[in-house]
Homo-oligomer: A and B are copies of this chain.
Amino acid sequence: MPKVGMEPIRRQQLIKATMEAIDEVGLAEATVIQIARRAGVSAGIISHYFGGKNGLLEATMRQILTDLNNAVAARRKALEDDTPRAHIGAIIEGNFDRTQVTGPAAKTWLAFWASSMHKPLLQRLQYVNDRRLYANLCYQFQRVMPRRDAKNAAHGLAAMIDGLWLRGALAPEGLDAAEARYLAHTYLDQLLRHHGCHQSASTTPTY
């Protein structure tokens, strides 16, 4: 089986297996043997490619954050109009992307978020990512409202998005993505309505 150039393949396999393991049995019981078995490899290979279990967990969190950013960035690039409403709407849509919200990614995301409270490295990853999202929201809101209001709006919308994620990850029936998007977009409309930017919500399709 050993061929050359296995590294990127194995890394992807192991990261995927890590998400699946966390999704099914939780972070606490996701042992290296569990993960390795899911990936169809030996346990020792994890230390070989990631330097240890911690390295694998860090890489997995990076993957999730990258995927989330890509989902947002892709939708923002595809925008036809440059209004704040459109940009922020795209951020909402990216955050409730199907590939993010269903399957292993959702529970893994929450598990890492909780875990990052006491692991400086994960905390830094999460913090940097969160600040970028917040800065983007703030910038777009500031185009149509004063700075103070924009900050509040950004905090509120970020909390709404995270809250919907959180409850979706915990609900036995999973997240109702359609309802989550509706609630987030409606909230966004309400935030904008008070500042004279009556861009219609109908620029965002199907929710």
- Residues of A at the B interface (CB closer than 8 Å) are 25-29, 107, 110-111, 113-119, 123, 126-127, 152, 155-156, 158-164, 166-167, 169-170, 172, 179-180, 182-183, 186-187, 190
Contacts and interface: CB of A to CB of B under 8 A. Distances in A.
B169 A166 contact: no
A22 B34 CA distance: 26
Copies in the complex: 2
Contact of A156 (B25, B166, B183): B183
B170 A113 contact: yes
B166 A162 contact: yes
A187 B156 contact: yes
Given A117-B110, A118-B26, A183 B163 contact: no
B111 A117 contact: yes
Given A167-B159, A190-B190, A114 B110 contact: yes
